[in-house]
Amino acid sequence: MVWNHLISKNSKLNNPSDSEDFRLESLVQDWQSFREKYEFRHGIVHGFKANLKYDEGCIALDTILQATDNIYNFSKANGYDVYTKVKITRCNKK
């Protein structure tokens, strides 16, 4: 996951001794619900879940927006602007 590779190990952040605290799974308050609702979004965008009810869509949207708010607030509190360009790093091919 890009976040876990680029952000949770970012030296600009005040990393705790355990960088697991900065992983998305720890950062997003309701990770499991976010993953489920993101599947709705994925299905709509790619056209294989077009029959989402209005109420389900609103709940999914609220969950996703709450997750992005968690990420933004974490980043802001740690002096990292998520709206800046991240330096691209290449993984070594094995």
Q: What is the pLDDT of residues 26-82, one digit of tens each?
A: 888 889 998 888 888 877 777 776 677 888 888 888 999 999 999 888 888 877 777
For residue 68, give the 3-state DSSP assignment.
helix
- CA atoms of 30 and 70, how far apart (whole Å): 10
**Token pair of 45 as six digits:** 């965008």
Q: What is the pTM of this model?
A: 0.67
Identify the pLDDT of residue 65: 92
**Nearest CA-CA partner of 1 in 19, 25, 32:** 25
**Token pair of 22 as six digits:** 């900065």
Residue type, 85: K
**Token pair of 86 as six digits:** 């991240």
| b/e per residue 32-42 (b: at least 16 CB within 10 A) | ebbeebeebbe
Identify the pLDDT of residue 8: 62
